[in-house]
Amino acid sequence: MKTEASTPRSHFYNSVSRYFDKAAQVTDHPPGLLDLVKSCNSVYRMRFPVKDDNGDIQVIEAFRAQHSHHRLPCKGGIRFSEHVTQDEVIALAAIMTYKCAIVGVPFGGSKGGVCLNSRAHSPEFRERVTRRYTAELIKKNFIGPAIDVPAPDYGTGEQEMGWIADTYRAMNFNEFHPYACVTGKPLRLHGIPGRTEATGLGVFHGIREALRRRHLTEPLGLSSGIEGKRVIVQGLGNVGFHAARFLQQDGALIVGISEMDGGLYAPKGLDVPAVKEWLKENGTLRDFPGAEFVESPSAVLERECDILVPAALENQITAENAPRIQAKIVAEGANGPVDFAGEEILLRRGILIIPDLYLNAGGVTVSYFEWIKNLSHVSFGRMTSRYTESAKVALVEAMEQLTGKRLSDDLRQKVSAAPQEIDFVHTALAETMAIAFHNIYDVWQTQDLEDMRTAAYYFAIERLCDSYAAHGIFP
Active site residues: 111
Maximum Cα–Cα distance for the chain, whole Å? Answer: 82
CA–CA separation, 199 vs 193, rounded Å?
13
Instruction: Kindly report whether the peptide bond that precedes residue 150 is cis, defined as omega within 30 degrees of 0.
Output: no
Gyration radius (Cα) of the chain, Å: 23
Q: How many CB atoms lie within 10 A of CB 471?
A: 10
Closest to 124 in 3D by CA, of 180, 78, 55, 63: 55
16 burial level (CB within 10 Å; 0-12, 13-18, 19+):
buried
CA–CA separation, 179 vs 181, rounded Å?
5
Q: Are 231 and 247 in contact (CB under 8 A)?
A: yes
Q: How many CB atoms lie within 10 A of CB 148?
A: 27
Q: Are 252 and 227 in contact (CB under 8 A)?
A: yes
Q: Are 221 and 261 in contact (CB under 8 A)?
A: no
Helix spans in 312-384 (H): 340-348, 356-359, 362-376
